[in-house]
Amino acid sequence: MSVIKTQIAAINAAFDQAFNSKNVEAIAQLYDVNAVVMPAPAGEPVVGVSAIQTFFAGLIAAGVIEHQLTLADAVEDGNLAYQRGNWAGAMVDASGVKQTFGGNVHLVYRKQADGGWKALTHIWN
């Protein structure tokens, strides 16, 4: 596995761990200060770390569980990198039945001053 794939796989694992432990502060730390999340289907863009933290807190409060990002490919080009892959999650309805869902995901990352990567754009369908 290439270095960038290893780095982004680790970011995905950190995101899933933070999401599934309901740690929205840890989720927010994975995003660049100028990040934009573009939720599906055709949701309004969520701009900035504070708004992104609030957005994911809302998903968690709504009952989304078992979030999982799966990396298909990652490419680095200078100070930018991207990943494409899949996401999955679940919710338990009022009758106790678990419903699973998922789709495609695409993220663009910006290299930070410390050499780490943070998400700049995040979109899924």
pLDDT digits (tens, 9 = 90+) for 43-97: 899 999 999 999 999 999 999 999 999 999 999 999 999 999 999 999 998 899 9
- pTM (2 decimals)? 0.95
Residue 1 has a pLDDT of: 76
Residue 37 has a pLDDT of: 98
Q: Which residues pair with 110 in a beta bridge?
A: 80, 118
The average pLDDT across 108-123 equals: 97
Q: Which residues pair with 119 in a beta bridge?
A: 31, 109
Question: Which CATH architecture does the domain made up of 3-124 adopt?
Answer: Roll (3.10)
- Helix, strand, coil % over all residues of the chain, rounded to 5: 30, 45, 25
Summary mean pLDDT of the chain: 96
Residue 94 has a pLDDT of: 87
What amino acid occupies position 48? G
Is the pLDDT assigned to residue 42 strictly greater than 80? no
The average pLDDT across 31-43 equals: 92
- Picking from 82, 85, 121, 122, the residue whose alpha carbon sits closest to that of residue 103 is 85
- Which residue's structure tokens are 């994911």? 56
Angle CA 19–16–111, to nearest 5: 105
Is the pLDDT assigned to residue 40 strictly greater than 90? no
